[in-house]
Structure 1
Amino acid sequence: MSQPLSFQLIDTHAGGDVSRIVIGGIAPLPGASVREQMHYLRDDADGLRRLLLEEPYGIPEMSVDLIVPATDPAAAAGYIIMEVMGYPIYSGSNTLCTATAVLESGIVQKQEGHQQFKLESPAGLVQIDARVENGVVEAITCEGLPSYIDTYQASIQVPGIGKVTYSIAYSGGFYALVDAAELGFSLVREEERALADCAHKIVEAIKAERGFSHYSLGDVGPLPFLHFMGPVEQIADDFYRSRSTTYVHPGVICRSTTGTGTSARLALMHHEGRIKPGDRLETVSLRETGFIGEFTGTHQEGSQAVVENTITGKSYVLARSEIVVNCDDPMVECQGLRHILKQD
């Protein structure tokens, strides 16, 4: 019998997306940056991601964020994002949850009112603005990655669907953006399975036809995401709202609208000349939760007009727990995991 191992979690959710924040029990990872530490996890210690997203501990709809020491002195902490599709360099919902967890765990001392600090993601430093009322983290605003439109209004024949018109945005990952109504969807919860099946067919068709390259990162892998866009409603001079949903993996529709999906929408609206700096877009999910993206400005990166933006939402603490890892359990796979767990 082997000795059970353990580590500590704070489970949170933002917009319905559950993020499991690992706050203790993991040994220091090699790497001179959080990005390098992410590569180590991906290549040599993928067991942590798999353990928490597969039976018996988790499900693919969840995400995992590992808190690590920051390598940049300007940051209060670093974090590595793990999802069912792998290791994205950035995620809005995961950043909202991680920022809340570092405040609730005391890694960053919570202050009443507004406070600012930085986190180090695999994509680099992220500015965090937190609003605390009566000791409760009521809102987090985080920077979205610079976003841009790679492809506008292309079309493709998709088996079982027909001709589909799509745009491609980069906002931390490449997104196919499609009009939900054109595909027969109203974006209600009862459509969730059909949305996942439809998105999978479209993404596979696009992947089979072409790839995408980031202007500075180069090849970041095949197209992973698809974002269904509902009609945009203007609520005020500088405020818009749209039902939205994001596909991230076969069978998996995000519970939230996703922060990076919201950033992609802002990039598209800017490309179409529909918003100006200071305008905000609230994306509303199948579960009636929402994130608010703000278009804050633009700058030029080579030939790309890049959209600067922020994402605002609230994360809720669901549980504080200790995960016990018993490698004798036939449902637990310890390969790729044991060597990064702290030994007593």
Structure 2
Amino acid sequence: MTAPSRLISTVDYHTAGEPFRIVLGGVRPPRGATVLDKRDDAITRLDDIRVLLTHEPRGHADMYGCFVTEPDDDGADFGLVFFHREGFSTACGHGSIAAAVWAYTTGHTPLRDDGTLVIDVPSGRVTCTVRDTADGHPRVAFRNIASYLHAQDVPVPTRRGTTTTDIAYGGAFYAMVDTRTLGLEVSRDRLPELIGLAAEIKTHVTKNHPLADPEDPRINGLYGVIFHDRIATAEGRVEERNVTVFADGQVDRSPCGSGTSARIATLAARGELTENAVLVNHGILDTTFLGRIAASTTVYGKSAVIPEVEGTAYVTGYNTLVVDPRDELPTGFLLPSS
């Protein structure tokens, strides 16, 4: 029997339906002074591992995951470098929730005295409050980095006519479009059309609106397009349904944690969400994140908020992934979406 050329151990979770694969062993963690530096190292040195973990037959076209790293300093408990089928992202809210559930339930990292875990991610430092519930499964509310509305009501031409988008930052940049302006709704049967429209919107915004963090240009570009439907508005409550299309057409099954952060910042800037209100944000699977404004602040001279997004994650399996040295497809493959 030929010995495997590589063995990689992982644990898989889903957060509101969106997968998250945490690498436990078999890969040398990314190196660097900060987690953003470690992301640079992963881009250079671990891209083949990213492909192996996200592509078929070990993954799938919508897989997501992370490498666990040392934090930037003693102020955090650990770091995360996120990856998906196209590359390495700067933020991942659903992944932060899954990692907090993993660290707490496995005993990898004990909670601090205030019931939190502090995680360094490429876009900054997030604080996860972990609380047990009546059914014994924890819920996590992660407090994200400062998020803000970058541009409002930007006109964008599409195959269904010109629409407008709000561009906001929640650890990555998102363009948000009300599907009613396109004569559509957020639903599973509309996904192929929404994916196509997202590509058009992303191409136009990328060409006409360069996006980068003023302090570190490594955080740059339009990460995703969020299509949203307003369901209801009441005193202290805004309820929406959304789907986020990111990377090269990847669909977030959850309501998107960093996208929800950008959405909170946008609603706050528009005066539609106050510090005492909650955003009930449903995803394409009707799973839900709860979003709140934890604090108001300013960043780069812009009004901004510190968003808090609440959800939970469930373990789906432990894996030892193997590469046979004779395999003609050693790092896997992707086929075009139907």
Q: Give me the TM-score of the superposition, normalised by structure 1.
A: 0.89
Question: Is 2:27 the counterpart of 1:26?
Answer: yes
Name the SS of the counterpart of 2:330 in structure 1: coil
1:1-344 matches, within 5 Å, as: 3-109=4-110, 115-133=115-133, 136-158=136-158, 160-218=159-217, 220-235=219-234, 237-333=235-331
How far residue 95 of structure 1 moved from its aligned partner, in angstroms, is: 0.4
**What SS class does the counterpart of residue 257 from structure 1 fall into?**
coil
Preserved contact between residue 119 and residue 127 of structure 1 (Cα < 8 Å): yes
Deviations 1:160-219, CA, capped at 9 Å, x for gaps: 232121111111111111111111222111111111111111111222223123333346
Task: Go from structure 1 to structure 2 and tell me whether the alpha carbon gap of 1:317 and 1:252 turns closer, same or farther (over 3 Å shift).
Answer: same
Q: 300-309 or 132-141, which moves further after superposition?
A: 132-141
CA deviations on 1:130-181 (whole Å, 9 max, x unpaired) are 11247843311111221111111121323x2321211111111111111111
* Secondary structure in 2 matching 1:102: helix
Q: Deviations over 1:224-248 (max 9, x none)?
A: 210111115125x322210111111
Corresponding letter in the other structure for 1:299: T
After superposition, the C-alpha distances for 1:38-87 in whole angstroms (9 at most, x for unaligned) are 21011122111111111221112110111123342232222111122321
Give me the CA root mean square deviation. 2.2
Can you give the 5+ residue segments of structure 1 that lack an aligned partner in the other structure?
335-344
Which amino acid in 1 is paired with 2:28? A
Residue 3 and residue 15 in structure 1: after superposition, are their counterparts in 2 closer, same or farther (change >3 A)?
closer
Give me the whole-angstrom Cα distance separating, in 2, the residues matched to 1:195 and 1:116.
Answer: 37
Separation in structure 1 between the aligned mates of residue 198 and residue 305 of structure 2, nearest angstrom: 25
- Aligned to 2:322, the other structure's residue is in SS state strand
Q: Distance in 2 between matches of 1:331 and 1:20?
A: 21
Partner of 2:336: none
Residue equivalent to 2:335: none
Say if 2:86 and 2:248, in contact at 8 Å, map to a contact too. no
Between stretches 46-55 and 116-125, larger displacement belongs to 116-125
Shift of the 9–179 alpha-carbon distance from structure 1 to 2, 3 Å rule, reads same
* Consecutive aligned runs of 4 or more in structure 1 exceeding 6 Å deviation: none
Shift of 1:13: 0.5
Distance 2:122 2:212 in 1: 18
**Greater mean deviation of Cα atoms: 311-320 or 274-283:** 274-283
Q: 1:114 touches 1:131 (CA, 8 Å); kept in 2?
A: no
Q: Distance in 1 between matches of 2:185 and 2:157?
A: 22
- Structure 2 CA distance for aligned equivalents of residues 290 and 315 of structure 1: 12
Alpha carbons 1:257, 1:291 under 8 Å: kept: yes
Most deviating of 260-269 and 118-127: 118-127
CA distance 1:123–1:205, change in 2 (3 Å): closer
Q: Distance in 2 between matches of 1:69 and 1:51?
A: 23
Q: Distance in 2 between matches of 1:134 and 1:324?
A: 39
- What is the CA–CA distance in structure 2 between the aligned matches of 1:302 and 1:54, rounded to whole Å? 38
- What is the CA–CA distance in structure 2 between the aligned matches of 1:275 and 1:134, rounded to whole Å? 29
1:103 CA displacement: 2.0
Deviations 1:251-286 (A, max 9, x none): 322111101111111111111111221321011112
Cα deviation for residue 310 of structure 1 reads 0.7
Contact in 1 for aligned 2:124/2:145 (Cα 8 Å): no
Structure 1 pair 150–134 and aligned structure 2 pair: CA distance change class (3 A): closer
Q: How many correspondences in the alignment?
A: 331
In structure 1, C-alpha distance between the alignment counterparts of 2:248 and 2:240, rounded to whole Å: 24
Q: Distance in 2 between matches of 1:145 and 1:114?
A: 19
Relative distance call for 1:153 and 1:140 in structure 2 (3 A) is same
Alpha-carbon contact 2:280-2:288 (below 8 Å) kept: yes
C-alpha separation between the residues in 2 aligned to 1:135 and 1:76?
A: 27
What does residue 342 of structure 1 align with? Answer: none
TM-score using structure 2 length: 0.91
Distance 1:135 1:66, change over 3 A: farther
Partner amino acid, structure 2, of 1:304: K
User: Relative to structure 1, is the Cα distance of residues 126 and 156 closer, same or farther in structure 2, using a 3 angstrom cutoff?
Assistant: closer
